[in-house]
């Protein structure tokens, strides 16, 4: 096969695989995953540490830069507002969000509008995380902590192209998953040090 023939075949394969995705109108590409870790502590102990977001969030990942409370509400109260600055896979961003759901003692959800800059191009993303603490064994002596993360890219062709670049060129999903795993490992270490 000639070089031109191979190139044409690769182009055809690329178009076959990507074009149906890129041509869906009105669909916002979504990144979504859950990471989980087991912690040798009661779920209530894990929840108590999670409540002190100012005590753990910045330290939990070297990509975290700032955490700012935007009101006087308890951080685990529906409606509490926070602004964070962080990097995801090296891409700097700022997210301003609200606690949208709380299941006392077991789960909290934060949803935000985030602005990232990739190669000088601003990208707005809707994103969120639900942190969930559950018993990991029957006697309640260990817990399972999970981070369910999602992001919705802008609508239209631009959003689909950004999602494809983030996923395939930057390996962004893998980097975002590792970002969440880093936070979970930190929390595990911090909680398991409590006597």
Question: Does residue 188 lie within any of the structural domains?
Answer: yes
- CB 128 within 8 Å of CB 139: no
Question: Does residue 10 lie within any of the structural domains?
Answer: no
Number of domains in the chain: 1
Question: Does residue 109 lie within any of the structural domains?
Answer: yes
- What CATH number should be reported for the domain holding residue 65? 3.30.530.20
Tens of pLDDT, residues 20-35: 333 344 546 578 999 9
Question: Does residue 187 lie within any of the structural domains?
Answer: yes
Closest among 85, 53, 63 to 178, alpha carbons compared: 63
| In the predicted structure, residue 107 carries a pLDDT above the cut 80 | yes
Q: Distance (Å, rounded) from C-alpha 57 to C-alpha 75?
A: 12
Tens of pLDDT, residues 160-184: 888 888 888 888 899 999 999 999 9
Closest among 118, 125, 110 to 79, alpha carbons compared: 110
Question: Does residue 157 lie within any of the structural domains?
Answer: yes
Question: Does residue 55 lie within any of the structural domains?
Answer: yes
Domain housing 70: 27-192
Tens of pLDDT, residues 149-160: 999 988 888 888
14 vs 139, residue with greater confidence:
139
Question: Does residue 134 lie within any of the structural domains?
Answer: yes
Closest among 8, 19, 57, 23 to 157, alpha carbons compared: 23
């Amino acid at each position: 096969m000639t070089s031109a023939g191979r190139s044409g075949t690769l182009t055809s394969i690329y178009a076959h695989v990507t074009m149906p995705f890129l041509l869906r109108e009105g669909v916002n590409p979504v990144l979504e995953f859950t990471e989980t870790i087991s912690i040798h502590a009661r779920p209530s102990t894990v929840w108590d540490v999670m409540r002190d977001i100012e005590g753990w969030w910045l330290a939990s990942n070297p990509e975290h830069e700032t955490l700012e409370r935007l009101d006087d509400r308890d951080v685990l109260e529906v409606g509490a507002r926070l602004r964070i600055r962080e990097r995801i896979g090296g891409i700097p961003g700022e997210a301003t969000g609200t606690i949208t759901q709380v299941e006392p003692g077991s789960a909290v959800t934060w949803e935000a509008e985030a602005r990232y800059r990739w190669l000088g191009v601003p990208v707005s993303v809707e994103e969120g995380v639900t942190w969930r603490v559950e018993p990991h064994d029957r006697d309640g002596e260990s817990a399972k902590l999970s981070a369910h993360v999602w992001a919705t890219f802008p609508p239209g062709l631009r959003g689909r192209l950004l999602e494809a670049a983030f996923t395939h060129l930057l390996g962004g999903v893998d980097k975002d998953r590792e970002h969440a795993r880093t936070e979970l490992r930190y929390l595990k270490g911090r909680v398991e040090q409590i006597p």
